[in-house]
Structure 1
């Protein structure tokens, strides 16, 4: 029996035009600050940090996410400026809306209750929604220089997240595995 474990995380992914803009910023960091890590996944706001699931458990995971998403409203998201987790991470700042805080909290509880997935670290610190543009391979020196450049830079986007996205790691990068429409957003179309 193949007990292969796969790595996943659950996120909100912006629409293509915003995704393109954030990817260009990530590429700028790769070219100017030698930080390529953020390019290993599509731009996203993590709701459930990476976890492992056995291949045979994935259908159950997807079924659970379908059920969760069906009862949720789509989420208004605002990106506003840049912020950092010094000395390693620079990100497009995401406004902490009640809707975002609520879906994060509900999803974490739901995953724990229905799929047995618990992220201990997330339970001990506040949720800071963000869209990473540089991390891990950003050296402290490059962080200082980049932060001087980006701390005052303006960025403003608004979009409605109408699906939860399940991302799967293929060994080198994260790819979209599946998307689960937020149910109440279906009625509008």
Structure 2
């Protein structure tokens, strides 16, 4: 049997009102500008960019990540306003704060040493954000998209109590496991 390699990533995935508001923003971009790529995953704040892993060893991945997240503590995360990377990515701003930056940095180191994953540039130059438009965002629509989202605005605060392991299934990303901080664990 051939080895099946899956694609995974780790992120904070807000629930409830924050997820609903961010999804509504994505749907407005789709309706008004035919921008839909960001709808392929739940709204999230990436902690570890997509990586490849042998699907037959998924439980080993989960076990190792449980060890990492088991001694982390929860923290508050603030979403405030709309930002951009050039004219190709629009996102909801995430206020950088020490606990988030430390968790991401520690996770990057852990993934490199314990999971033997390659350290990406994004692991070293981390800029937390929650993307609402990218890849299929055309230059001619950029100003209209920014105006629409800036006029709407975004401000929310959440308690980070878990981190999601997402897996690419077909053409979209699905949460396959949740790791509670402070040793809590639940399957989705």
TM over 0.5: yes
Give the structure 2 partner of residue 159 of structure 1. 158
Count of equivalent residues: 185
1:101-137 CA deviation, whole Å, 9 max, x = no partner? 000000010011111112322245x211011111100
User: Matched residues in 1 for 2:74 and 2:132: separation?
Assistant: 24
Match of residue 132 from structure 1:
131
TM-score by length of 1: 0.92
The yes-or-no answer on 1:54 pairing with 2:24 is no
Conserved in 2, the CA contact under 8 Å of 1:73 and 1:185? Answer: no
Cα gap change, 1:87 to 1:178, in 2 (>3 Å)? same
Matched residue, 1:88: 88
Cα pair 1:40 1:173 within 8 Å, conserved: yes
**Residue in 1 aligned with 2:15?**
15
Q: 1:76–1:160: 8 Å Cα contact kept in structure 2?
A: yes
Alpha-carbon distance between aligned partners in 1 of 2:43 and 2:126, rounded to the nearest angstrom: 18
Cα distance in 1 for residues equivalent to 2:122 and 2:105 = 10
Q: CA deviation at 1:2?
A: 2.9
Compared with structure 1, are the counterparts of its residues 185 and 166 closer, same or farther at alpha carbon in structure 2 (3 Å cutoff)? closer
Gaps of 5+ in 1: none
User: Conserved in 1, the CA contact under 8 Å of 2:25 and 2:149?
Assistant: no
In structure 2, distance between residues paired with 1:184 and 1:51: 24
Indicate if the aligned counterparts of 2:66 and 2:183 stay in contact, CA closer than 8 A: no
Q: Which runs of 5+ in 2 are unaligned?
A: none
1:17-166 aligned within 5 A: 17-123=17-123, 126-151=125-150, 153-166=152-165
Shift of 1:144: 2.2
Partner Cα separation in structure 2 for residue 36 and residue 48 of structure 1? 23
